[in-house]
Amino acid sequence: MKWIGLFVLLLSITSCTTYSERDLEGFDKEIQAYLDSTGLKMEKTETGLYYSILNEGEGEKLIGYKDQVTFSYKGSFLNGNTFQVIGKEEPLVYKVNQLIIGWQDALMMLKEGGRIHIIIPPQLGYATQKTDVIPANTVLMYELEVLEVK
């Protein structure tokens, strides 16, 4: 039993990615250079998420951490290449707390029907993990639209 606990602790420690201040500043400079070159105006959260609310949505209540959301999105790299589009006809359905941190932060600024444009630095996205379409340590850009909240 002791070995299982040690294994779980070791796994949780090694699965967390910590970036140096220099790394974080580099990601931020990359995002700032993109914003400067495109003229986009975005706000920045304390955690480093860049966002522009296109439509806050309808209703009295903002989306919560434990809410289930149905949403569509377009994901792209800062070079403009789109890596994935999830349309309204086949949207994703997840609880907010099951998503990457950048999406969590963005969705909790909205209400049902809301739309947001975000730029996610790696520490709020997939960090050092890579997927079939997203390289490790990549800044990502999304436009999310919330279709339903439960």
The model's pLDDT over 25-72, given as tens digits with 9 standing for 90+, comes to: 999 999 999 999 999 999 999 999 999 999 999 988 999 999 999 999
How far apart are the C-alpha atoms of 123 and 102, rounded to whole Å? 9
CATH number of 20-149: 3.10.50.40
Domain segments of the chain as ranges: 20-149
Instruction: Give percent above pLDDT 90 in the chain.
Output: 85
How far apart are the C-alpha atoms of 63 and 107, rounded to whole Å? 6
How far apart are the C-alpha atoms of 26 and 148, rounded to whole Å? 36
